[in-house]
A and B are shown apart, each in its own frame.
Chain A
Amino acid sequence: MKIAIGCDHIVTDIKDKVIEMLKRDGIEVLDCGTYDFERTHYPIYGHKVAVNVVEKNVDFGIVICGTGVGISNGAQKTKGARVLLAKDVLTVEDARKNYDANIIGFGGRIVGLGLMYEMIETFINTKYEGKNDQLINQIDSLIKNKNYSDSIFDEENKKWDSGFYDE
């Protein structure tokens, strides 16, 4: 089992703790960053995790930001990603059984580590029931292009670096 994980600068410490727990359980981890607490932008890391999942470099993805909303949208907008943002185990079970979800999002400021890890265990141990192949194909075909290049953020990164955006 190999899992890609990504976060923004708000919750790097939480991501690092999740990585420790995954490794303790013998799961291989691809850490997509961010790696410190310097201000950065969640779409970069949500997208990076999703690309690794849909290109089959890993089995599943985990994304974490403050509420989880921003980074899970960054992942969801990647072709082939099927993301849920979870705060309870029931929602996780449903997303795996019915939609074969391949990425799970969390709010690091919403969910504690204990519950987060329960949801991760449920996510990776619950099987897709095979009843919704047509629906899943429909979801995957909503985005036409393989939007997997990380250079798609170059222009906005330049604008940010030039001080275009107000603090």
Chain B
Amino acid sequence: MEKIVISYANKIEKAYIEHIKNNVKNKNFELIYEENSGSVEEYLELVKKIQNKEIGRVISIEEFGTLPFMVMAKNKGIVVAQISDHHSSRMTIQHNNSNVLSLGYKIMAKENMVDIIETYLGAHFEAGRHMVRINMLENILEGE
């Protein structure tokens, strides 16, 4: 079963993260909840775990979702979706095969957060013509 780390900021209110834990119901993945302090090193550790195939994807929840995007997308094999709406959460799997979802708890109600995570987990990559774009993203980091 594909492992997904849900990495959440230690500053988040307890009731908010408890709501996520209690309401994300998808059974097709092993969901591993981890608290983080938001350092670059912690995000790079998660990148390594994806690259080494120890985990399949990461769902990061911090203030606005910007820092995880700036750090994690700089690495090979990583596509980050910094999003906050239902349509993007589905499309970013269908077209971009994003393996990091970067969410901001300061801009999203907890109910919306649950919907976006569930939608993301329920979507499937379409491949086909979209593969050329994924390969081009890798081209940019060739030589790294």
Residues of chain A whose beta carbon lies under 8 Å from any beta carbon of chain B: 39, 41-44, 47, 66-70, 72-74, 76-78, 82-85, 87-88, 90-91, 94-95, 98-99, 101, 107, 109-110, 135, 138-139, 142-145, 147, 152-153, 155-156, 159-160, 165-167
Contacts and interface: CB of A to CB of B under 8 A. Distances in A.
Given A73-B79, A73-B96, A110 B88 contact: yes
B84 A87 contact: yes
Interface string B87-109: 11001100110100000101100
B137 A73 contact: yes
A156 B140 contact: no
B1 interface: no
A31 B36 CA distance: 40
4 closest residue pairs by CB, A with B: A43-B136, A142-B74, A77-B140, A76-B73
18 contacts: A43-B139, A67-B81, A69-B96, A70-B95, A70-B137, A73-B96, A77-B140, A77-B141, A78-B140, A85-B82, A90-B107, A91-B66, A94-B64, A94-B66, A143-B141, A147-B141, A147-B142, A156-B136
A165 B74 contact: no
A69 B81 contact: yes
Nearest to A70: B96
A160 B81 CA distance: 25
B73 A77 contact: yes
B135 interface: yes
B131 interface: yes
Given A66-B91, A87-B85, A91-B107, A144 B140 contact: no
A99 B40 contact: no
Nearest to A166: B128
A110 B64 contact: no
A111 B84 CA distance: 11
Interface string B54-93: 0000000001111101110111000111111101100110
Contacts of B129: 39, 165-167
Nearest to B90: A67
A154 B71 CA distance: 27
A48 B1 CA distance: 39
B70 A91 contact: no
B79 A43 contact: no
Nearest to A139: B70
Contacts of B95: 66-67, 69-70
Most buried by A among B65, B69, B129, B140: B140
B144 interface: yes
Contacts of B142: 147, 152
Contact of A74 (B40, B63, B83, B136): B136
A135 B72 CA distance: 14
